[in-house]
């Protein structure tokens, strides 16, 4: 049933079915999300700048999610020698890099009015910056080796080692005292955020994920095609 997650041809079939509805759904949700963001209340302290949140937080979450997916596929790829997982890794890495970049830029833009500085060297911010570097290195690694086998294995191992960074990002706000907001939405028990802000945030998150998913599907399909023709 979930064969499309590991088998190229099944994936292609599944993608062909799902792609168009997905695009439709994504546009609807994105428009809804933007309307909700527009309608959402202004913060009494931060004013308009609070709306950066609706870009910042989804892209931050997706940056982490993308890397987690790559980690899982790397384990599968190394353990079961599944070529499809390397295809996914290659296709998905730039998407994650872009999300990380958006998170960094939006965070910086947000930080200037709130903290009075573009950048501080605290644990959260630094570890996200390192995540961006790791993403870039993964992309570069894929372009440096001529030998395909070496390229894929090295990249996968590197992704695995780099995944150490994920918990550091996630828990940095708890482990070290930093300027950055501690988890308020993604707390397991009860989100400590007003419902009027939570709604657009969640919708935007879904919209972002769908955009990422669509691009990923297209990139994976392209990669499969390239490999077939070689």
Partner 1 sequence: MFFIKKIFLFFKRELKLFFRNIVSIFSNILFFFLSIFIFVFALGADEQNLKSIGLGIIWSLLVLSSTLSLRKFYEEDFNNGVLVIIHMRGISYELIVFLKILSHFLFVQVPFLISIPVASLLFNLPIYEVYNLIFTFIIGSLILSCLSSMSASMNLLNKANFSIGGIIVLLFSVPVIIFSVGINEVDSDFKSLINILIGMALIFLGISPWASAAFIKLALRNK
Which residues from 114-133 bind partner 1, rule CB under 8 A?
A: 117-122, 126, 129-130, 133
DSSP labels, 45-112 = TTBGGGGGHHHHHHHHHHHHHHHHHHHHHHHHHHHH--HHHHHHHHHHHHHHHHHHHHHHHHHHHHHH
Q: Please, which residue, 90 or 124, has the CB nearer to ligand HEM?
A: 124
Tokens representing 12?
């292609």
Residue 134: which of ligand HEM, partner 1, none does it interact with, CB under 5 to 8 A by kind? partner 1
Q: At what angle do helices 8-39 and 195-228 cross, to 10 degrees?
A: 150
Q: Where does residue 191 fall: left (phi above 0), alpha (psi -120 to 50 degrees), or beta otherwise?
A: beta
Instruction: Check if the beta carbon of residue 76 is closer than 8 Å to that of residue 223.
Output: no
Output the residue with the shortest Cβ distance to ligand HEM: 107
Which residues from 153-172 bind ligand HEM, rule CB under 6 A?
A: 169-170
Among 103, 156, 166, 217, binds ligand HEM (CB under 6 A): 103
Which residues from 44-83 bind ligand HEM, rule CB under 6 A?
A: 53, 56-57, 60-61
Instruction: Check if the beta carbon of residue 227 is closer than 8 Å to that of residue 219.
Output: no
Among 91, 123, 128, 203, binds ligand HEM (CB under 6 A): 128
Residues forming the site for partner 1 (CB under 8 A): 108, 117-122, 126, 129-130, 133-134, 136-137, 140-141, 143-147, 150, 154, 158
Residues forming the site for ligand HEM (CB under 6 A): 53, 56-57, 60-61, 103-104, 107-108, 110-111, 114-115, 124-125, 128, 169-170, 180-181, 183-186
């Amino acid at each position: 049933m979930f064969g499309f997650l590991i088998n190229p041809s099944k994936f292609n079939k599944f993608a062909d079915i799902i792609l168009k509805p997905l695009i439709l759904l994504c546009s609807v949700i994105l428009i809804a999300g933007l309307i909700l963001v527009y309608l959402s209340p202004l913060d009494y302290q931060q004013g308009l700048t609070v709306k950066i949140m609706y870009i910042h937080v989804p892209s931050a979450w997706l940056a982490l999610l993308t890397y987690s997916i790559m980690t899982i596929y790397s384990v599968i790829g190394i353990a079961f020698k599944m070529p499809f997982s390397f295809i996914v890794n290659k296709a998905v890495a730039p998407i994650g890099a872009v999300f990380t970049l958006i998170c960094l830029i939006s965070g910086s833009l947000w930080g200037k009015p709130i903290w009075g500085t573009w950048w501080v060297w605290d644990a959260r911010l630094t570890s996200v910056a390192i995540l961006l570097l790791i993403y870039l290195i993964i992309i570069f690694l894929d372009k440096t080796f001529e030998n395909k086998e070496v390229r894929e294995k090295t990249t996968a191992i590197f992704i695995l080692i780099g995944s150490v960074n994920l918990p550091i990002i996630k828990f940095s706000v708890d482990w070290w005292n930093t300027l950055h907001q501690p988890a308020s939405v993604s707390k397991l028990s009860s989100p400590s955020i007003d419902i009027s802000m939570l709604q657009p945030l969640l919708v935007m998150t879904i919209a972002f994920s769908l955009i990422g998913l669509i691009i990923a599907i297209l990139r994976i399909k392209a990669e499969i095609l390239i490999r077939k023709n070689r």
